[in-house]
Amino acid sequence: MKRQGGAAVVTTGTDTDVEDLGELGTTAAGTAEDESGKSEAGKLENGEGAPAGGEQGPGEHDAASGAGRRRLRVVAGVLVVALLAAGGGLFAAGRQLRDTPATANRALTNSEATTRVAGDVTNALGKVFSYSPAATGVTKESAKQLLAGKALQQYAALFGQVEKQAAGQKLTLTTHVVRAGVTRLTHDSAHLLVFLDQVYEREGKAANRAAAQLSVTAQMRDGRWTIVDINSR
């Protein structure tokens, strides 16, 4: 109990508690503020207040994007070079295949040209190796048109003797081409293997049959295949 202005005032334990509570509230508030400050500082020290590790600032994002674009350009450049190199290799390989001796041989790829040269050579051999005693002059003229070069020279040297025998012995020779195979053909040259069936007839005697095999070279001259070399096999 206290005296105030001559009056007696009774002080209870409750008043004291209120005052104490006020002091305690103030102290608690200060302590909470201190703890809050320490907590925030701790978060900053521990990196909790900083942006998350997976997030980047604007500058870092732009730098990463630029690096990514540069890598893409490098990869694209490497791919282009690789494709060009592969294309060049395929072109060279294709050209090499086209330039092989097998593909250059038209006898394997052009049936029409092969048939023509075989026909021209067959017709020429049938004419120049067929004669009769009364028509050797016709055979000689045919040889001049159908043969050339070495083949014509050889034929002229031999046919002079044959012409005399044909007249004296009444000899007739008939030649048939059994088969003519073109072994190599270009646009102006051809090599053939030819099989012949020849029949010799002398007046008053039985006919004789013989087979022959020739290696023939022909050249395209004035739009026609002309025999330039003949070899017996």
CA–CA separation, 78 and 28 (whole Å): 70
Using only the alpha carbons of the chain, give its radius of gyration.
Answer: 58
| Residues 62-95: tens digit of each pLDDT | 666 777 777 777 766 666 666 666 666 665 655 5
Residue 101 binned pLDDT confidence (cut-offs 50, 70, 90): low
Q: Which domain holds residue 150?
A: 111-232
**Non-local CB neighbours of 28 within 8 Å, separated by 6+ positions:** none
Taking the alpha carbons of 43, 44, 50, 52 in that order, is the dihedral positive or negative? negative
- Pair (25, 95) in one structural domain: no
**Non-local CB neighbours of 83 within 8 Å, separated by 6+ positions:** none
Give, in order, the Cα–Cα distances in Å from 118 to each of 150, 177, 185, 211, 232. 20, 10, 10, 19, 18
* Average pLDDT value over all residues in the chain: 76
Whether 54 is covered by a domain: the verdict is no
| Residue 195's CATH number | 3.10.450.50
Whether 167 is covered by a domain: the verdict is yes
Residue 103 binned pLDDT confidence (cut-offs 50, 70, 90): low
Give, in order, the Cα–Cα distances in Å from 92 to each of 87, 88, 106. 9, 6, 22
Q: Which of 1-15, 44-58, 97-111, 171-185 has the highest mean pLDDT?
A: 171-185
- Pair (84, 157) in one structural domain: no
CA–CA separation, 66 and 70 (whole Å): 6
Cα atoms in the Cβ-side hemisphere of radius 13 Å centred on 1: 6
Overall average pLDDT of the 180-207 stretch? 94
Q: Which two tokens stand for residue 4?
A: 């105030």
The pLDDT of residue 35 is above 60 = no
Ramachandran angles phi, psi of 44, nearest 5°? -65, -40
CB 36 within 8 A of CB 29: no
In the chain, % of residues over pLDDT 70: 60
The pLDDT of residue 202 is above 80 = yes
Whether 55 is covered by a domain: the verdict is no
- Pair (89, 158) in one structural domain: no
Whether 179 is covered by a domain: the verdict is yes
Whether 37 is covered by a domain: the verdict is yes
Overall average pLDDT of the 96-120 stretch? 81
The pLDDT of residue 134: 87
